[in-house]
Amino acid sequence: MPASLLDGKSAEPLRERLDALAFKQVVVRLGNQSIFDQATVDASLYVGRRQAEVSESPCPTLMVWADHTSGASDRALRTLRSLDWTPSDGLIEIDHGDYSIYSEVCEGTSGWAPRPLASTKLLRQYKPLPRLSSQYSINQGTITGLNEAFVLDDDEFKRLPRTERKFFRKAIINASIRDGRIHDGHWVFYPYGASIPVLDSEEKLFELLPHYVREYLEPNKSALRRRTGIDEASWWHLTRKRAVHERFTPKIVSTYFGNAGSFAWDATGEYVVVQGYAWTPSGSTVINEKTGLAAVAVLSSATVSRLIAAISNNLAGGQFNLSARYMSKMPFVDLKNEALSEQIDALALIGVAISRGESYSKELRDRLTEDLFSISATTTK
């Protein structure tokens, strides 16, 4: 069955119905489509027994996870076939890096998806920590509705008259963030904010942006007018502008898909996220520079890489979904905790090096992050 049925929100009623009818014996999440080569979506396997055939006490389910690499799914299934195991045999744990097989009591219908065993253990270890959603709001980026009309590369931007450039902001797309650092190269039409003239009519649009309209908007006018949710009378606006970008406030930015290192610090708030997410603090506060830089270092670490694997789904190429749906569940440390200032200060310096593309000790970054999480989890219990 499609892997999305294991943890998709819309599939909760189906999981609830299956739980009422049967006990989950085996759940398998395959990391690629090599087993079912005609499938157009990621595949999973489910084996259940009727509830009448099992005891009332919760029994562990055999969870099987394989990553995206070649042969991992085959090896996982071969190992599964060779097992002589029943729930009454107790816990089982097999971890070969590219695949894991383990037993776990799965209660509730919020999610059945198997994860890497090492990551699952780490998630349990840091369970006392607050969830990321208690500290940050993860805001989806703008939706232009037609990137070819609204997103320009550097060369295209430089060909614009200087008077038209003020209507554009630096853009974050999926290729913009690598190893925790923002790499410039794209601009997005963003005619919003207190300092930008209001484009409330076609006459104003043509008057203030004649070159851009002629080269990019007019050739795409029909497609722009057909976008869902757009008033045809103001067809030149983005489909979703996202108010979080109207003010220039510091924020953490991420890509749609990635892993640890796919997060960066926007110190000035000048970037508009087009393909990805903008993190702002919960409440009305602003992220200070030290906290933002320390967060980037933490979000580049091996600890966070393992935690992401425990809460999100890997896609083709080994990247993970970094949306709020998954990331909001990740345990995270309070980087404003004065009791941890020594580690936080050191991580902030590493964050500076990451943001500038300078060399730094990854071993020190990982050790400091592990210390932060371990100390925080111990003191939170």
Question: Which pLDDT tens digit goes with each residue over 64-87?
Answer: 999 888 889 999 999 999 998 876
By mean pLDDT, which of 13-22, 35-44, 131-140, 238-247 is the weakest?
35-44
250 inside domain: yes
Planar angle of CA 57, 61, 65, nearest 5 degrees: 160
- 156 and 37 part of one domain: no
pLDDT tops 90 at residue 118: yes
For residue 165, give the 3-state DSSP assignment: helix
List of residues 6+ apart from 156 with CB closer than 8 A: 187
Q: At 100, is the pLDDT very low, low, confident or very high (cuts 50, 70, 90)?
A: very high
End-to-end CA distance of the chain: 39
- 170 and 301 part of one domain: yes
pLDDT tops 70 at residue 381: no
Q: At 249, is the pLDDT very low, low, confident or very high (cuts 50, 70, 90)?
A: very high
Tokens of residue 215, six digits: 């080269």
Residue 244 identity (one-letter amino acid): V
- 188 and 59 part of one domain: no
**pLDDT recorded at residue 293:** 98
207 inside domain: no
Mean pLDDT of 295-317: 92
Planar angle of CA 72, 75, 81, nearest 5 degrees: 140
CA distances from 16 to 48, 61, 203, 234, 345 (A): 13, 16, 56, 45, 47
Q: At 56, is the pLDDT very low, low, confident or very high (cuts 50, 70, 90)?
A: low
Tokens of residue 352, six digits: 């500076």
331 inside domain: yes
Q: Percent of the chain at pLDDT above 70? A: 95
- 132 and 91 part of one domain: no
- Among candidate residues 62, 88, 114, the one where a domain is terminated: 114
CATH of the domain at 168: 3.90.220.10
- 279 and 348 part of one domain: yes
Question: Among 152, 100, 130, 104, which Cα is nearest to 272's?
Answer: 152
Q: Which domain holds residue 289?
A: 126-193+238-381
By mean pLDDT, which of 22-36, 231-245, 345-359 is the weakest?
22-36
For residue 206, give the 3-state DSSP assignment: helix
pLDDT tens digits, one per residue of 200-227 = 999 999 999 999 999 999 999 999 999 9
Tokens of residue 199, six digits: 């484009």
- 66 and 162 part of one domain: no
**pLDDT recorded at residue 57:** 61
Q: Percent of the chain at pLDDT above 90? A: 72
**pLDDT recorded at residue 54:** 52
**pLDDT recorded at residue 53:** 56
Tell me how far apart the alpha carbons of residues 6 and 141 are, in angstroms, rounded to a whole number.
Answer: 27
Q: What are phi and psi of 198, to 5 degrees?
A: -75, 130
- Among candidate residues 87, 114, 141, the one where a domain is terminated: 114
**pLDDT recorded at residue 55:** 57
- 68 and 184 part of one domain: no
| CA count, 13 A, side-chain hemisphere, 22 | 13
Question: Among 249, 279, 250, which Cα is nearest to 263's?
Answer: 279
CA distances from 28 to 5, 98, 102 (A): 12, 14, 11
For residue 97, give the 3-state DSSP assignment: coil
Segment of 20-24, 33-37, 314-318 carrying the highest mean pLDDT: 20-24
Which DSSP category does 186 fall into? Answer: E
List of residues 6+ apart from 8 with CB closer than 8 A: none
**pLDDT recorded at residue 313:** 86
- 82 and 174 part of one domain: no
Question: Among 125, 104, 107, 126, which Cα is nearest to 115's?
Answer: 104
Planar angle of CA 102, 103, 107, nearest 5 degrees: 130
**pLDDT recorded at residue 111:** 81
- Among candidate residues 114, 149, 184, the one where a domain is terminated: 114
Tokens of residue 39, six digits: 């499938």
Mean pLDDT of 241-254: 95
Asked if residues 80 and 103 have their Cβ atoms less than 8 Å apart, the reply is no
pLDDT tops 60 at residue 296: yes
Question: Among 99, 93, 87, 39, which Cα is nearest to 60's?
Answer: 87
- 249 and 359 part of one domain: yes
310 inside domain: yes
314 inside domain: yes
- Which helix (H) or strand (E) segment holds residue 291: the answer is helix 289-298
211 inside domain: no
Tell me how far apart the alpha carbons of residues 75 and 64 are, in angstroms, rounded to a whole number.
Answer: 11
Average pLDDT, the chain: 91
- 90 and 158 part of one domain: no
- 149 and 28 part of one domain: no
Q: pLDDT higher for 3 or 143? A: 143
Domain count, the chain: 2
pLDDT tops 70 at residue 312: yes
For residue 285, give the 3-state DSSP assignment: coil
SS percent in the chain: helix, strand, coil, step 5: 40, 20, 40
Mean pLDDT of 289-313: 96
230 inside domain: no
Q: At 96, is the pLDDT very low, low, confident or very high (cuts 50, 70, 90)?
A: very high
300 inside domain: yes
By mean pLDDT, which of 24-28, 306-310, 331-335 is the weakest?
24-28
Mean pLDDT of 16-23: 86
By mean pLDDT, which of 40-44, 45-49, 187-191, 271-275 is the weakest?
40-44
- 377 and 326 part of one domain: yes
**pLDDT recorded at residue 108:** 58
pLDDT tops 90 at residue 104: no
pLDDT tens digits, one per residue of 317-350 = 778 999 999 999 999 999 999 999 999 999 999 9
